[in-house]
Amino acid sequence: MPNSDSLDSDALFELGAPAAEAVGYAGLAALPLNELLAPGWAEVLAPAEGQLRDVLRFLGDEVSGGHAVLPPPSSVLRAFRQPLADVRVLIVGQDPYPTPGHAVGLSFAVDGATRPIPRSLANIYKELDADLGLPPRIHGDLGGWADQGVLLLNRVLSVRAGAAGSHRNKGWEAITAAAISALVNRTTPSGAPAPLVAILWGKDAETVRPLLGATPVIASAHPSPLSAARGFFGSRPFSRANTLLREQGDGTVDWELPPLP
């Protein structure tokens, strides 16, 4: 077991953090939950702790078996470093990009230096332009959305390099379902449901709809080039999300990303 006292938990989850890469996925499985997740997430996901450790050990076994796993250990739980209380919009994806260097732990995002950006993300930018008149970006750093409370959560949080869907049914679904249920069950100090809008892109994302209760949902086809023309284009998710947030008294998201990361 690694000595967690020797690890800087802030540095651990920075992209490319050498401490996380040194301990690997199996090493992460041995760390205290509050070093893996932000405090709010650590509390609500405690009932799924055993499942989380099992899936992290599975990733370690994948690597031991000679398979490249994405994203790297420093990023695999990145979505849960975002404060639970700050989440206002949930965007659900499928699983990470299987292209080496693309997956960064946030659904649909890539590192700001990645060129060209994935085609699904390029289609998201096209719809953003059509919806709000915001120009497409050449980079795929969606951190500006995450910083405003947009949770970019894949249904499955890891993948073998080059093999899309390869880590389905390995345990992630139960963890992300627990996370979504925790979001839905948050309340304000008055006891009212905390503001939340869910954006579901594609069939995998649609599987979480039963977990969402009365949460307003914006659903469409996936932005993949194979399906974007079958309902994603023209769905106006960004303006609709802002309308729904305003109706809940929670302002809006500024969806415009910086020209450069």
Residue 32 near residue 59 (C-beta atoms within 8 A): no
* Per-position DSSP letters for 191-260, written without gaps between them: SSBPP-EEEEESHHHHTTGGG-TT--EEEE--SSTTTGGGTTTT--HHHHHHHHHHHTT------PPPS-
- With residues binned 3-state (H G I as helix, E B as strand, rest as coil), the percentages for the chain, rounded to 5, are 40, 10, 50
Q: How far is Cα 165 from Cα 4, in angstroms, rounded to an integer?
A: 32
Mention every residue, 6+ apart, whose C-beta is less than 8 A from residue 50: none
Nearest one of 154, 80, 117, 158 to 257, comparing CA atoms: 117
User: What is the C-alpha to C-alpha distance for residues 154 and 208, in angstroms, rounded to an integer?
Assistant: 11
User: Could you give the CA distance from residue 59 to residue 37 in angstroms, rounded to a whole number?
Assistant: 17
Residues designated catalytic? 95
As beta bridge partners, residue 201 has 220
d(CA 162, CA 101): 11
In angstroms, rounded to a whole number, what is the distance separating the alpha carbons of residues 181 and 213? 9
Helix (H) or strand (E) holding 64: helix 49-64
